[in-house]
Amino acid sequence: MGSFADFHARSINDRDAFWAEQAKRVDWKVQPQQICDYSNPPFAKWFVGGETNLCHNAVDRHLAERADQPALIFVSTETNQEKTYTYRDLHAEVQRMAAILKDLGVVKGDRVLIYMPMIAEAAFAMLACARLGAIHSVVFGGFASHSLATRIEDASPKVIISADAGSRGGKGVPYKPLLDEAIKLSAHKPANVIMVDRQLVAFTPVAGRDVDYATERAKHMDTVVPCEWVESTHPSYTLYTSGTTGKPKGVQRDTGGYTVALASSIPHIYQGKPGGTFFCTSDIGWVVGHSYIIYGPLIGGMATILYEGLPIRPDGGIWWSLVEKYKVNVMFSAPTAIRVLKKQDPALLTKYDLSSLQALFLAGEPLDEPTAKWISEGLNGKAIIDNYWQTETGWPILTICNGVEKAESKFGSPGKAVYGYNVKLVDDQTGEELTGANQKGVLTIEGPLPPGNLQTIWGDDERFVKTYWKTVPGKLVYSTFDWAVRDEDGYFFILGRTDDVINVAGHRLGTREIEESISSHPNIAEVAVVGVADQLKGQVAMAFAIAKDTSGLTDAAARKTFEAEVMKVVDSQLGAVARPSRVLFVTALPKTRSGKLLRRAIQAVAEGRDPGDLTTMDDPAALQQIVDLIKT
Ligand code: ATP
Ligand code: MG
């Protein structure tokens, strides 16, 4: 192992040689002729002239060495199913699904929309699309008709693959009526819908459109469907961002660059080895699910666990019992899930044999110190590694690459810039690069974006350029829209999103800093701070907090006392200028389906405006509480 600094420097300064070497980790039908074509910035083309196939690299290529090794381990605590598919089994199932798609006329470049719960067939569906060179667009199963309809319209799929129902807490959650309604709402109509019937919820097929998966599968038990070799730059999929800050963006990913990026990340970032087991608790509807439930572990020759169920059912030990049973080496989850576990008995963390587990990776939102400490101590000091990335990037921008060089994590920091990422902090007003330690700037990436990152926004090159590349004055650089500082050791700390900054009487304050201050009060469980327009000060901060113990907050006077107490904490830590104008107590906060705070929506209703697109919101009642509070 060399030094990480050298490794990173080479990835930037000797880019083509570096990535040519990484490209050897995957199979090519035709070798790339050019490593990176950046002649038309900001559009980067990786491994130009190369021909490959994502499904081949995830499945077929392992048959020679590991046909009988577990590839996909499906566990549902919803339906009490547990089934292991070897690479041989997976290869057969993917071909059956691909054969059905082929029968329906799906060819290279066609879009296929996947609206499915966390079942093995969802993995077959994604891999089957990749096999045919069809472009999949997975829509999170928790989304309802309206969100689904906008995505159907945007992706214009020839075929949709779905199921009768998902399941939550042991109860069937119908999908089919939502899908039918979405197709009705959408101007684009798919020619066919493949229905996986789990027999959880009865449904009526639409004659002439819907086909039954089991019936079709039975016709293709031994059908051979070869991989369609596609150009490296051929799109593998589209996927929408979480919609935390506005209308979701349809991220378009290539084939060759993505395969190489994932193949390289498994050893360098996750320290995964062929034959090992990867357990990512995300959902296939999110980017983390695409990269680290499906493609990454399989490309790396590992077994991957696909888990349907809650983290606390039958009890809060379920995930750790799976770690023991399947000898999980690499685990990947999100801070929001750990916060759910935090409410359970901590003894469940040590009840099982976790000796196989090397590290727990967490991504998706800021990993707050109390949560990081709680899980790290609970798991007896196992490495807890924060990953900072975006749907757009497909794999981490910031983290610790222990597979390159062992390094210590720092609480509150996702780590350093990952190889391939030329990360720069810039002043948002002047565009000037900030090179000093602890200077706060916008986290940007200089082009070309590394392999695996988005090629463009599906069907909208202009929005791609305008949204991401034209926000820093005088420079064509990719903006993450996140604030960060870098310390003297090169560790980054994410301070929040650029639209989370408020301006109080000329002072620019990060809402996240105020939130952290409020959270340090021992009786605060969670808090959201937003800027609200104010005639005098421009903006004032307003806080919506969830108290841990609400027993003393039954009347207005008690709430007022508590509010004053919280304000005092902010006063003493950040100064009076940061003190929120109000601290209002709620029982839930509005979040996206992926567990992120919807500050944009909170701000809108706090200012008496229409919150706009709420299709990605999890719990409308949480927002209603705020609407009601503001009125009083
Ligand atoms: P949209 O772009 O549609 O508003 P979104 O940004 O929430 O939605 P994602 O791509 O799912 O969609 O989330 C990426 C964002 O999540 C990052 O830009 C960052 O703000 C936040 N994030 C992800 N991982 C971390 C992390 N480890 N630490 C802090 N923030 C993180
Ligand atoms: Mg985003």
As a dihedral over the C-alpha atoms of residue 525, residue 530, residue 534, residue 538, rounded to 10 degrees, the angle is 130
Which ligand is the nearest neighbour of the Cα of 241?
1
Span 37-76, pLDDT tens digits: 999 999 999 999 999 999 999 999 999 999 999 999 999 9
Among 150, 151, 154, 242, which is best to mutate for testing ligand 1, by the most ligand atoms less than 8 A from CB?
242
482 Cβ below 6 A of ligand 1: yes
244 Cβ below 6 A of ligand 1: yes
Nearest atom within ligand 1 for CA of residue 247? 3
Nearest atom within ligand 1 for CA of residue 480? 18
Residue 80 Cα to ligand 1 midpoint, Å, equals: 33
Residue 170 Cα to ligand 1 midpoint, Å, equals: 30
pLDDT at 615: 75
390 Cβ below 6 A of ligand 1: yes
Protein residue with its CA nearest to atom 28 in ligand 1: 366
Mean pLDDT score, 219-229: 98
As a dihedral over the C-alpha atoms of residue 512, residue 514, residue 520, residue 523, rounded to 10 degrees, the angle is -100
Nearest atom within ligand 1 for CA of residue 494? 29
Q: How far, in Å, CA of 62 to CA of 609, rounded?
A: 55
Protein residue with its CA nearest to atom 12 in ligand 1: 242
Nearest atom within ligand 1 for CA of residue 240? 3
Which amino acid makes up residue 79? T
Mean pLDDT score, 233-239: 98
Mean pLDDT score, 147-156: 94
Which ligand is the nearest neighbour of the Cα of 289?
1
Spans of all domains in the chain: 4-309+387-441, 501-631
pLDDT at 595: 84
Answer whether residue 86 shows pLDDT above 90: yes
Residue 554 Cα to ligand 1 midpoint, Å, equals: 36
Q: Which two tokens stand for residue 158?
A: 């020839």
**Does 4-309+387-441 match 501-631 in CATH topology?**
no
Among 244, 360, 471, which is best to mutate for testing ligand 1, by the most ligand atoms less than 8 A from CB?
244
pLDDT at 104: 98
Q: Which two tokens stand for residue 546?
A: 């969830």
Span 444-455, pLDDT tens digits: 999 999 999 999
Token pair 């469980």 in the structure block, residue:
525
Protein residue with its CA nearest to atom 15 in ligand 1: 390
Its pTM stands at 0.92
Residue 124 Cα to ligand 1 midpoint, Å, equals: 28
Mean pLDDT of the chain: 95
Span 485-500, pLDDT tens digits: 999 999 999 988 888 8
Answer whether residue 228 shows pLDDT above 70: yes
Protein residue with its CA nearest to atom 24 in ligand 1: 364
Q: How far, in Å, CA of 364 to CA of 389, rounded?
A: 7
Residue 114 Cα to ligand 1 midpoint, Å, equals: 23
The full 3-state SS of 508-566, as one line of letters, equals EEEHHHHHHHHHCCCCEEEEEEEEEEECCCEEEEEEEEEECCCCCCCCHHHHHHHHHHH
Which ligand is the nearest neighbour of the Cα of 392?
1
Nearest atom within ligand 1 for CA of residue 596? 7
Residue 217 Cα to ligand 2 midpoint, Å, equals: 38
Q: How far, in Å, CA of 499 to CA of 428, rounded?
A: 12
Mean pLDDT score, 526-543: 91
Nearest atom within ligand 1 for CA of residue 362? 27
Indicate the pLDDT class of residue 2, thresholds 50, 70 and 90. Answer: confident
Span 471-484, pLDDT tens digits: 999 999 999 999 99
Q: Please, which residues have CB within 8 angstroms of residue 376's CB and are 6 or more apart in sequence?
A: 382, 384
282 Cβ below 6 A of ligand 1: no
232 φ, ψ to 5°? -55, -35
Q: What are the C-alpha distances in Å from 388 to residues 91, 396, 480, 561, 581?
A: 33, 6, 11, 38, 32
pLDDT at 1: 60
366 Cβ below 6 A of ligand 1: yes
Q: Which of 204-218, 372-386, 565-579 has the highest mean pLDDT?
A: 204-218
Span 254-281, pLDDT tens digits: 999 999 999 999 999 999 999 999 999 9
CATH of domain 4-309+387-441: 3.40.50.12780
CATH of 501-631, one of 3.40.640.10, 2.60.15.10, 3.10.310.30, 3.30.300.30: 3.30.300.30
121 Cβ below 6 A of ligand 1: no
Answer whether residue 536 shows pLDDT above 90: no
